[in-house]
Amino acid sequence: MVDFIREAAQQAAEAESSARKLAIAGYVAGLVPLFVSYRQSSGSSSQVMIDGKVISSSSAASTFDYIAVPAGAVAVLLGFIALLGALRTADVSPKWRGITGMFAAGALALGAYQIAQGTGML
């Protein structure tokens, strides 16, 4: 009986530790685009002319960062998995549930920010 309790406690500690490691890995993936960037921008414009007069004019621009978007997606994925891991260990280790959950949510938010920034939404 004592071995069963000890084994369950060890498994809970390992799951909690792996959730924190995944959240930290998500932070690292989310921080990479702050230091490395490969951005491509493009634009186009068009005009409608009738009898030599410009009737309407429009222009569009787009940008895409080939580092921020994939790194942000990895951060979101790792943050989500870490959040699930934090919820799974909640009944065994409630002390670390909030801390691990906050790490995971932070990695998720940082990844979402990098995706938005990399696609030109921000």
User: Is the separation of the CB atoms in 57 and 68 below 8 Å?
Assistant: no
Single out the residue of 82, 81, 64, 80 nearest to residue 112, CA to CA: 80
User: What local confidence, expressed as pLDDT, does residue 43 receive?
Assistant: 76
* pLDDT score for 40: 86
Mean pLDDT of 1-8: 60
Per-residue pLDDT band at 41 (split at 50, 70, 90): confident
Q: What is the pLDDT of residues 55-99, one digit of tens each?
A: 777 777 788 899 999 999 999 999 999 888 888 775 666 667 778
